[in-house]
Amino acid sequence: MNDSKCAISLREVNRTFDDFVAVRDLSLNIADGEFFSLIGPSGCGKTTTLRMLAGLDSPTSGSIEVHGKDMVGVPPYRRPINTVFQNYALFPHLTVGENVAFGLRERKTERREMARRVGEILELVHLPGKEKRRPRELSGGQQQRVALARALVLKPEVLLLDEPLGALDLKLRRSMQGLMKEIQREVGITFVYVTHDQEEAFSMSSRIGIMNRGILEQVDTPQAVYRRPASAFVADFVGASNHVTVEVLSVAGTRYRVAAPTIGTVDCDGVDGIASGSTAAMVVRPELISIVDSGTGASLSGTIRDVSYNGPTVDYLVETGLGTFAIKTDGQRLASIDSSVGITWPASACWLVPMPSELSANETSEEATSA
Amino acid sequence: MGRIRLSFGLITVVVLASLYLPIVFVFINAFNADEELLGWGGFSTSAFSKVLSDARLRHAFLTSFTIAISATVVSLVVAVTAGLWARRAGKIGRAALGFSVYSRLVLPEVVLAVGVFGLLRKMDLPLGQPAIVAGHVVFLSALATVVVQARLRTMNETLEQAAADLGATPLRAFRRVTLPQLMPALLAGGLLVLTFSLDDLLLSQFLAGSNAETVPMLLLGLIRFKITPEANAIGALMMLITVTILVLAVAVVGLRSGVLSAITGSNQTEGDQE
* Average pLDDT over every residue of A44-66: 93
What is the CATH number for A103? 3.40.50.300
Angstroms from B90 CA to nearest CA on chain A: 14
If one counts the domains in chain A, the total is 2
Whether residue A160 lies inside any domain: the answer is yes
Whether residue A235 lies inside any domain: the answer is no
Residue B25 scores a pLDDT above 80: yes
Residue A361 scores a pLDDT above 50: no
Q: Which residues of chain A neighbour B175 with C-beta distances below 8 Å? A: none
Q: Does A107 touch chain B (CB under 8 A)?
A: yes
Whether residue A369 lies inside any domain: the answer is no
Q: Are B243 and B64 in contact (CB under 8 A)?
A: no
What is the CATH number for A246? 2.40.50.140
CB atoms within 10 A of CB A170: 7
* pLDDT tens digit sequence for A152-167: 999 999 999 999 888 8
Q: How sure is the predictor about B67, in pLDDT bands with cuts at 50, 70 and 90? A: very high
- Which residue, B109, B69, B22, B24, is CA-closest to B214? B69
Quote the domain boundaries for residue A56. Answer: 3-227
pLDDT at B255: 52
Q: Which residues of chain B neighbour A81 with C-beta distances below 8 Å? A: 165
Q: What angle do CA A220, A221, A226 make, to 5 degrees?
A: 90
Q: How sure is the predictor about A295, in pLDDT bands with cuts at 50, 70 and 90? A: low
Q: Where in chain A does DSSP place strands (E)? A: 6-17, 20-31, 35-39, 61-66, 69-70, 81-84, 158-162, 190-195, 207-212, 215-220, 242-252, 255-260, 264-270, 279-284, 290-292, 300-309, 314-320, 323-329, 340-344, 350-354
Among A196, A227, A258, residue at a domain's last position? A227
* pLDDT tens digit sequence for B170-225: 999 999 999 999 988 998 899 889 989 998 999 999 999 888 899 999 988 888 88
Among A172, A192, A227, residue at a domain's last position? A227
Domain assignments of chain B as residue spans, ordered by start: 56-264
The residue type found at A235 is: A
* CB contact (8 A) between residue A85 and residue B169: no
One domain, residues A322 and A264: yes
One domain, residues A144 and A274: no
Compute chain A's Rg from CA coordinates.
24
One domain, residues A16 and A82: yes
Whether residue A370 lies inside any domain: the answer is no
The shares of helix, strand and coil residues in chain A, as percent rounded to the nearest 5, are 30, 35, 35
* CB contact (8 A) between residue B164 and residue A82: no
Predicted complex ipTM: 0.81
Look up the CATH number of domain B56-264.
1.10.3720.10
- Which residue, B54, B61, B1, is CA-closest to B237? B61
* CB contact (8 A) between residue B162 and residue A154: no
CB atoms within 10 A of CB B218: 19
* pLDDT tens digit sequence for A77-121: 999 999 999 889 999 999 999 999 999 999 999 999 999 999 999
Residue B269 scores a pLDDT above 60: no
pLDDT at A127: 92
One domain, residues A130 and A210: yes
pLDDT at A360: 43
One domain, residues A194 and A332: no
pLDDT at B184: 86
Whether residue A9 lies inside any domain: the answer is yes
Chain A, window 64-83: residues with a beta carbon less than 8 angstroms from a chain B beta carbon: 75-77, 81-83
**What rounded mean pLDDT belongs to chain A?**
88
Q: Which residues of chain B neighbour A54 with C-beta distances below 8 Å? A: 165
One domain, residues A161 and A89: yes
* CB contact (8 A) between residue A135 and residue B271: yes
Backbone dihedral angles phi then psi of residue A27, each to the nearest 5 degrees = -125, 135
* CB contact (8 A) between residue B269 and residue A56: no
Measured distance CA(A241)–CA(A256) in Å, rounded:
19
Output B44 or B141, whichever has higher pLDDT. Answer: B141
pLDDT at A14: 94
Chain B, window 152-171: residues with a beta carbon less than 8 angstroms from a chain A beta carbon: 156, 158-159, 161-169
* CB contact (8 A) between residue A56 and residue B165: yes
Q: Which residues of chain A neighbour B271 with C-beta distances below 8 Å? A: 135-140, 142-143
Among A169, A199, A227, residue at a domain's last position? A227
* CB contact (8 A) between residue A136 and residue B164: no
One domain, residues A31 and A117: yes
* CB contact (8 A) between residue A92 and residue B161: no
* CB contact (8 A) between residue A56 and residue B169: no
Single pTM value for the model: 0.79
Burial environment of residue A149 by CB neighbours within 10 A (0 to 12, 13 to 18, 19 or more): buried
Q: Does B23 touch chain A (CB under 8 A)?
A: no
Q: Does B261 touch chain A (CB under 8 A)?
A: no
Q: What angle do CA A101, A103, A109 make, to 5 degrees?
A: 75
Q: Are A98 and A90 in contact (CB under 8 A)?
A: no
Residue B267 scores a pLDDT above 50: no
One domain, residues A33 and A161: yes
One domain, residues A63 and A191: yes
Whether residue A204 lies inside any domain: the answer is yes
Whether residue A45 lies inside any domain: the answer is yes
Angstroms from B262 CA to nearest CA on chain A: 12
Q: Does B180 touch chain A (CB under 8 A)?
A: yes
* Average pLDDT over every residue of A319-336: 84
One domain, residues A221 and A253: no
Percent of chain A with pLDDT over 70: 94
Q: Which residues of chain A neighbour B181 with C-beta distances below 8 Å? A: 92-93
One domain, residues A16 and A157: yes
Q: Are B249 and B187 in contact (CB under 8 A)?
A: yes
Residue B168 scores a pLDDT above 50: yes
* Out of B164, B177, B180, closest to residue A76 by CB: B164
Q: Which residues of chain B neighbour A91 with C-beta distances below 8 Å? A: 159, 162-163, 177
pLDDT at A323: 87
Find which of B159, B165, B169, B172 to mutate to test the A interface (most A CBs within 10 Å of its CB): B165
Q: Does B270 touch chain A (CB under 8 A)?
A: yes
Measured distance CA(A122)–CA(A95) in Å, rounded:
13
Q: How sure is the predictor about B22, in pLDDT bands with cuts at 50, 70 and 90? A: confident
Q: How sure is the predictor about B135, in pLDDT bands with cuts at 50, 70 and 90? A: very high
Find which of A93, A105, A146, A175 to mutate to test the B interface (most B CBs within 10 Å of its CB): A93
Whether residue A233 lies inside any domain: the answer is no
Q: How sure is the predictor about A26, in pLDDT bands with cuts at 50, 70 and 90? A: very high
Residue A358 scores a pLDDT above 70: no
CA atoms within a 13 Å half-sphere pointing along the CA-CB vector of A282:
29
